[in-house]
Amino acid sequence: MNQSKHKYSFSTYNGRVKVKIDGYVVFCFNQLEFLGYYSFKDDVGLYGIDFYMKDTTMETYYKTKENWLAVLKLLDENM
């Protein structure tokens, strides 16, 4: 299996969830606003994740399947 060349991390601090790739925050949200579920989109050439919040939906998109799958794995393991 091919080793990932990126470092992914998931953390929570003071009620804030942060996901980082290579030390950079990719997205962050407040746990109090999060409804507890998310979904993924697998479109041609663009991969997305929707987070369902109290008053809105937060969307994130990734150009590479590698990053998208790694972030989904982090979420599945930690949320």
List, for residues 9-44, the tens digit of each pLDDT value: 999 999 999 999 999 999 999 999 999 999 988 777
pTM: 0.84
Predicted pLDDT of residue 1 = 44
Predicted pLDDT of residue 22 = 95
Cα dist from 79 to 25, 36, 43, 48, 64, whole Å: 17, 8, 24, 17, 23
Predicted pLDDT of residue 3 = 60
Kindly give, in sequence order, each residue whose CB lies less than 8 Å from that of residue 33, ignoring residues fewer than 6 positions away: 53, 54, 55
